[in-house]
Amino acid sequence: MKTLTKVLLFLSTMFPFIASAHVSYVVKAEDAAKVMGPNPVYLQKALIDPLNIFLMIATAIAVVILFVFIKRIPFFKNLFYKIIQKLNTYHELIPWILRLALGISLIGAGTAGVLISPTITNGSVFAFLQVALGFCFLAGFLLAPVSLITIGLYIYALLQEPYLIGNIDFLALALSVLVFHSARPGLDDILNISLLKFLKIHRYWLPVIIRLGVGIAFIYLALHEKLLNPGLSNLVVEQYNLTQYVPVMPAMWVLGAGIIELLLGILIISGYYTRVVGVIGILVLSLTFFYFEEAVYSHVTLFSALAILTIEGGGMWSIDKFLKRP
């Protein structure tokens, strides 16, 4: 009975913590520096105990069974159909979602004195530029040059700190503004400034760009913060006493989180059940704000990218498209 209880607890409480998103945002830099580096012995501890292996297998089977059979229940089948029909009417809102996310993110970073990510703390020199770009996105003013400057700013930040690969969803959104060719609602539309229309990037590229941005971010964070540097995530487990929620060893938390985050990234890039994975990602990300009290501006682009995938679906070059699944 105790074993069954652990399985249920592991299944029900693992998801709120798998995407603490950016672990480096909630641990001190000096503490992180002490534990950086591969530690396969630490991860192997999670596989020594047969109970941990049973928990992982049982969780995987439970998720698959739930995923397969819930679609066969008429109530949920009709509910999913109605939700998808409603989502198909939200496409016109995507440009506004893109601009809101970039605007809030840039204004938040500028006022906090960081450069795009909280990991680059000496970004005060770019504070005014980021705030100005953010307000331009919110107002829908000069979107083409503002998007190009934002892309250049991200590339510069990435050269300063490779960890910004974990924020590549930010770059995906900036590129998507150029792809969507829509300035509504905004000053560009009111003043008839049509610079975006000169960019001949097809609208169908939008889901592909977003999938790559979100998927790469998830995979990078899973590898960098969990599987290749497990000590970093172990700090979070200890700092927030996560073992009180599920009574398993810290190594099990880190390994489980890394594997699940890695799988989510692969599913998103491949475009398999894109909308379902998008919803899961939104729920997980929302909970991390409450559990870890992270800055909202640092994750608003990831949140918005997942919302866009939930609206758009996989798009071209996705398994969903190949299987003709909405």
Residue 198 confidence (pLDDT): 67
Which range, of 72-76, 108-112, 166-170, averages the lowest pLDDT?
A: 72-76
Residue 124 confidence (pLDDT): 83
Compute the average pLDDT of residues 52-58: 80
Extents of the domains making up the chain? 91-208
Which range, of 4-8, 46-50, 51-55, 272-276, averages the lowest pLDDT?
A: 4-8
Tokens describing residue 323: 């299987």
Residue 3 confidence (pLDDT): 45
Condensed to tens digits (0 to 9), the pLDDT of residues 265-287 reads: 999 999 988 998 888 888 877 77
For residue 133, which of 158, 99, 162 has the smallest C-alpha distance? Answer: 99
Distance, CA of 258 to CA of 233 (rounded, Å):
9
Residue 293 confidence (pLDDT): 57
Task: Give the Cβ contact number of residue 238 at 10 Å.
Answer: 13
Tell me the pLDDT band of 290, cut-offs 50, 70 and 90.
low
Tell me the pLDDT band of 4, cut-offs 50, 70 and 90.
very low
Judged against a pLDDT cut of 80, whether residue 105 lies above it is answered with: yes
The more confident residue out of 66 and 113 is 113
The more confident residue out of 234 and 190 is 190
Condensed to tens digits (0 to 9), the pLDDT of residues 210-261 reads: 999 999 999 998 888 888 888 777 777 777 777 776 677 888 888 888 888 8
Compute the average pLDDT of residues 49-54: 79
The one-letter amino acid code at 230 reads: P
